[in-house]
Amino acid sequence: MMRFFFASLLLFASLGSIGARQEIQGNIIKNPGKPLVAVPDFRASGAAASYVGAFNSTVASDLQSSPLINFVPKTMYPLQAPQQPQDLISGVASPSRGAYTPQGKRLSDWSLPPVSTNYLGMGYGAESHGNFVVFGWFYSTSPTMATLQQAQVFGKVYTASLDQNGAVDAGHRFAADILAQFGGKSLVGTRIVFVSNRSGAKEIWIMNWDGTDQRQLTRYGSISTFPSASPDGRIVAFTTYAAGYPAIQMFSLDTGRKLPFYNQRASMNAFVTFTPDSKRIVFSSTAAGGPAQLYMTNVDGSGLHRVSSSGAIEVEAKINPKTGADLVDVSGRSGLPQIYQMNLEGADVQRLSAGTGEATNPAWSPDGEHIAFAWTRGFEPGNYNIFIMDVTSRQATQLTANEGRNENPSWAPDGAHIVYASMRGRQSQIWVMNADGTGKHPLTDRGSNEKPVWVYAEQ
């Protein structure tokens, strides 16, 4: 599924490269061959009735924003939607007995026009022992399924707290289970670490992937910024001026405490990237004097050895999460900052970005075949937009345009979502979008928020 998705992106990129500048608008990359999914609104009784609306809108929004399926608009649905398997009538209605109006109780009412969906989700909510409980089912409407039992893809119970947040959480989980049928990795449980000044100083914050539960991790009252996360999802590294100079600090998400780290004696140590096993890191340091260069150490700062040896500034190294053998970084070796690729010995250096404008903020896709990055192509200095590039073909596709300054992309574990910082006016906010540029929506609105990084444990 992913491969097909990127193949269509590439096709678009090569078509668009004829024009001066590519811009993705609306649903240009929508694949008409994607499966159709319909989910009529769930109903609920008693105390659960107040929150089922939040459940329904969460499910609809997650499915609408997914590049893996097409969500059939609710206006097409029959009036009588089944709420549980017992509501379903097997077989296809025979139109011979007078004019037949689809009532919605047969799967064929959903598989035939006007709905024409391939899949149907249904269920209901209830209050049980003070919890918000949802019973959800997912059916294939294919006429090749001989029985209703065969047609059922899954049936599950979702238990959450009896409030708005609980209903939203249950909605995300049901939508994630549906998307998992089409190759979607669930984002539930993943988090986003970012920088916010809302407390008065730049501090490191963390939130759930959907923007809920925003929490402050550091309280230095200094400048703490440039976060990154270990692939095991357990460590956040960042750069802080708390001790007077930009220095690296390691923070354990397990214990909520800082971890020991030996900073090189240097005017700056910053921008940590982890090896896939989370045991070693590469970062930028001026330890040898001259422009900042890339160094590798163990995760505690011991065992230093030098990676890059250019006479130019080398920052923002990102180790390939799949191979662990190569990295991309931002280098000034050809003038204005550009994205380069090299192996972990600093050899086999190649420029990936086109060499025009400034290209920064590279971020690997989970499959290690693409990078997202920020580029000023076609715009004045400082007017960055998010692009993605196939590292092998070096074809770049533009995902944002004319929506302010967009920087610091970071991929979700599903490879289908990208979180980034968008400055529209004087404040930056964290936004998320699909990896085809659709479905953009903000996750933050308090203070200025920047440098998001998706945190999750690699499976």
User: 281 and 237 in contact (C-beta within 8 Å)?
Assistant: yes
- Contacts to other proteins from residues 97-156, by CB under 8 A: none
Task: Pick the closer one to other proteins by CB: 61 or 428.
Answer: 428
Q: Which one of 111, 117, 196, 225 is in contact with other proteins (CB under 8 A)?
A: 225
- Contacts to other proteins from residues 300-319, by CB under 8 A: 313-316
- Contacts to other proteins from residues 344-383, by CB under 8 A: 358, 360-361, 374, 381-382
Q: Which amino acid is at 305?
A: H
Q: At what angle do helices 52-64 and 164-180 cross, to 10 degrees?
A: 40
Q: Which one of 119, 174, 251, 271 is in contact with other proteins (CB under 8 A)?
A: 271
User: 60 and 72 in contact (C-beta within 8 Å)?
Assistant: no
- Please report, for residues 8, 46, 123, 188, 264, the alpha-carbon distance to residue 3 in angstroms, rounded to integers and kept in the order given: 9, 45, 32, 23, 42
Q: Strand pairing partners for 165?
A: none
Question: Does 265 participate in binding other proteins (rule CB under 8 A)?
Answer: no
Minimum CB separation of residue 337 from other proteins in Å reads 5
Q: Which one of 193, 292, 371, 416 is in contact with other proteins (CB under 8 A)?
A: 292
Minimum CB separation of residue 52 from other proteins in Å reads 43
Sketch the per residue contact string, 187 through 216, with other proteins: x for CB under 8 A, - otherwise. Answer: ---------------x--------------
Minimum CB separation of residue 305 from other proteins in Å reads 20
Minimum CB separation of residue 375 from other proteins in Å reads 11
Q: Which one of 113, 257, 335, 392 is in contact with other proteins (CB under 8 A)?
A: 335
Question: Does 245 participate in binding other proteins (rule CB under 8 A)?
Answer: yes
Q: Which one of 33, 244, 256, 260 is in contact with other proteins (CB under 8 A)?
A: 244
Residues engaged in binding other proteins (CB under 8 A): 202, 223, 225-226, 239, 244-246, 267-268, 270-271, 284, 286, 289, 291-292, 313-316, 330, 332, 335-337, 358, 360-361, 374, 381-382, 384, 407, 426, 450-451
